[in-house]
Chains A and B, each alone.
Chain A
Amino acid sequence: MTAERPPAATTPGVRGAKRPSFFEHLHPPSIPEAQARFRYTLGLGGLSVFFLVMTAVTGALLLFYYEPSSARANASVQLLQYHVPFGWLVRGVHFWSAQALVVTAALHLLRVALTGGFRSGRRFNWLLGLSLFVLALGLDFTGYGLRWDASIGWALLIGTNLLRLVPLAGGTLYRWLVGSAELGEATVLRLFGWHVFGLMLPALGLAVWHLFRVRRDGGIATDTAAPRLPRRELVRREILAMLLAAATLLGLTTLAGPGLAGPLEPSSLSLEAHAPWFFLAIQELLRLGNPLWFGVILPLAVVLLLAAIPYAIDRGARLGRWFPRDGRLVQVIVLGLALGIGWLTLRGALR
C-alpha cells in the first residue's frame, strides 16, 4: 500500500524536496482512512463541490453571450445553442452540473442524516449545509427561468404567485423577484440578478464556510482515528473522481441537452403546465388543497423540521456508521421525507 514519505522529501529547504501543492494544502496533512472510504460517504460532498465549481465556471462563460432582457433572452440562448462554437456544450454542462448538484446535495444531506454526521460539534454545519441546499434550489429555479421560453411560463407564474401568498411580506417578496406587479419585461433582469449575484454570492460564501467548518469540526465524522491516509492519496482520489464526473457531464450533455422552445409571451401561455423536476413534489401537493398551506407552509415546515434535527430531535453521540442504533427517530423521519418527496415527484413526472 502507500507508506509515508521520508521526512526529507517534504521538508522545506532541502534540495529536491517535493513540497505539497496548493490543492494538497487545502487538505489536512493526513486524515483517518475511515473518513475517505467510498462506502461510507459515497463521495457525495466532494462531488457537490465539484458540480458547484463546474456550474460557476460554465455560468461565467455563459455571461459573455447571454442577454438578460425579455426581448433578447431567448434569442441569446438560441445564439449560444446554435451558433457560438461549443455554446451548446457550455450551456449543457451548466445545466447538467446544476441538476447533478441538486441531486448529490440531496443525497449528501440524506447520508449525513443517516450516519449521524450532524451530531455533537457539527450541528451548526448541518444548518449551513441545509441553507446551501435551499440556495441550490433557488439557483436552479431562477436559472430555469432565464431561458425565457414557452416551456417555463407556467412554472414561473405559479412559483412567483406562491410567493405572493406569504402573509404580510408576500407582496414585497413578489416584487423583489418579479420586478413589477406581474410577470413581464422586468422579470428576466431580476431573475438574472438573483441567479448571478443575489443567490450566488451567499452560496459561495456559505460553501466556503461549510467546508471550513468540516475541517474545524474534525473532518468527516467517523468512529476510528487510525490508520491515517496522507493527503497526497486523498487528493489523488479526488482527482480521479473529478475526471470521471467531468466525463459523465460531457457524456450527458452530448446525449441530451436542456432543450429550448420559442420565446415566452407572458400574455399567452402555452398549454403545457409542469414544474421543473425538482419542484414536481410541490406541484403534486398543490393539487390537494389550499395553496398557502400546501405550497408554502408545508415545504417550509419540512425545511424547519430538517433544521431542528440536531437541536431538538437527536442528541445522540454515536458517530461514524450508517444507521446508528440510537438514531432511529431521525432515520425514520428523514427516510420518510425522502420516500414521500420521491413518490410525489414520480407521480408528478408520470402524469
Chain B
Amino acid sequence: MSAMPSTDPDGRPPMVRRGFLSVAARGLLWLTGGVAAAGLVRYLSYEPPAARPSRFTLEDPVAYPVGTRDVVAEAGAAVYRDTAGFYARSLICSHLGCRVRPSDDGGFACPCHGSRFSRDGACVHGPAARDLAAVALALDDQGRLVVDTSTRVDPAWRLSPGTGLGRLAGRSKGSRS
C-alpha cells in the first residue's frame, strides 16, 4: 500500500519521505556502479610487459677516444667520452618525444617543434624545457659498452673505462642541469 501525500499549497508535491530501503537500494546501486566503473578503468588500462629492448651493446671502449660524441640511432642514444669517463644522453626530445638529430653547430635539433640542445644535451632553445635525459652505461662480460636507455642517471655521472663502474664526476662548466 502506498501513502499518497497531499499536495502543498503551491501545487508542488511535498518532499517524499524516503524509506530506509529506498535509500539503501539507491546506495547499493551507486556502490555497484562505482565498483563497475573502477573495474572498467582497470580493464582499459592493461599494459603487457614491454617487448622493445632498451639495452644495446656497443663497441669496446677503445673504439671511443676522449672527446668523441657517437650518435647511435638504433639505440636512441648518443655516447660520449671525456677525460672523466663515458656518459650517454637519450636522443628523445624532452618536449614531446620526437627523435632529435645532430645539428650543424655540433648540438642537436628536434625536427618537430624546433627545440635545440647543446652538444651535451643541455636545452638551449625551443619549446623544450628540460635537458636530454642522461642514461646509464655499463660494460658487459666481454668488455664492451652497453647503453641502457631505460635507466636514468645524474648528468654528472661517468663510467670509468678501467673499472667499469660509474661515479659522479665534477660538474662541467656551462651545464644547465
Contact = CB atoms under 8 A, between A and B. Distances in A.
B20 interface: no
B170 interface: no
B46 A16 contact: no
Interface string B39-53: 110111110100000
A317 B43 CA distance: 52
B13 A6 contact: yes
Interface of B: 2, 4, 7, 10-13, 39-40, 42-46, 48
Nearest to B28: A243
A339 interface: no
B43 A83 contact: no
A81 B165 CA distance: 44
B12 A85 contact: no
B42 A86 contact: yes
A340 to B, nearest CB: 42
B10 A15 contact: yes
A237 interface: no
Contact of B10 (A1, A16, A90): A16
A88 to B, nearest CB: 11
A148 to B, nearest CB: 19
Interface of A: 1-3, 5-6, 8-9, 14-18, 61, 64-65, 79, 83-87, 89-90
A1 B4 CA distance: 10
The DSSP consensus for interface residues of chain B is: loop
B29 to A, nearest CB: 8
Contacts of A61: 40, 43-44
14 contacts: A2-B2, A3-B2, A8-B13, A9-B7, A9-B13, A14-B12, A15-B12, A18-B13, A79-B48, A85-B39, A85-B43, A85-B45, A86-B42, A90-B43
A23 to B, nearest CB: 14
B43 A84 contact: yes
A104 B140 CA distance: 65
Interface-centre pick from B12, B39, B40, B48 (highest chain A CB count, 10 A): B12
A83 B42 CA distance: 11
B2 A86 contact: no
Contacts of B10: 15-16
B24 to A, nearest CB: 14
A64 B12 contact: no
A91 to B, nearest CB: 11
B7 A6 contact: yes
Contacts of A15: 10, 12
B39 A64 contact: no
B26 to A, nearest CB: 12
A84 to B, nearest CB: 4
Contacts of A2: 2
Contact of B46 (A5, A17, A18, A85): A85
A85 B42 contact: yes
Contacts of A14: 11-12
A6 B10 CA distance: 13
B7 to A, nearest CB: 6
A3 B4 contact: yes
A65 B44 CA distance: 9
A8 B48 contact: no
A9 B10 CA distance: 11
Contacts of A16: 10, 12-13
B7 A8 contact: yes
A51 B44 CA distance: 22
A87 B39 CA distance: 10
A183 B159 CA distance: 57
A72 to B, nearest CB: 12
B41 to A, nearest CB: 9
Contacts of B46: 65, 83-85, 87
A8 B12 contact: yes
What are the 7 tightest A-B residue pairs by CB atom distance, in nearest-first order? A16-B12, A85-B42, A8-B11, A84-B46, A9-B13, A86-B43, A86-B39
Candidate in A1, A85, A89, A90 with the most chain B CB atoms within 10 angstroms: A85
A83 B48 contact: yes
Contacts of A18: 13
A239 to B, nearest CB: 9
Nearest to A6: B7
Nearest to B44: A64
Contacts of B4: 3
Nearest to B14: A16
Given A1-B2, A3-B2, A87-B46, 16 more contacts: A2-B2, A3-B4, A8-B11, A9-B13, A15-B12, A16-B12, A17-B12, A18-B13, A61-B40, A61-B44, A64-B44, A83-B48, A85-B39, A85-B46, A86-B39, A86-B42
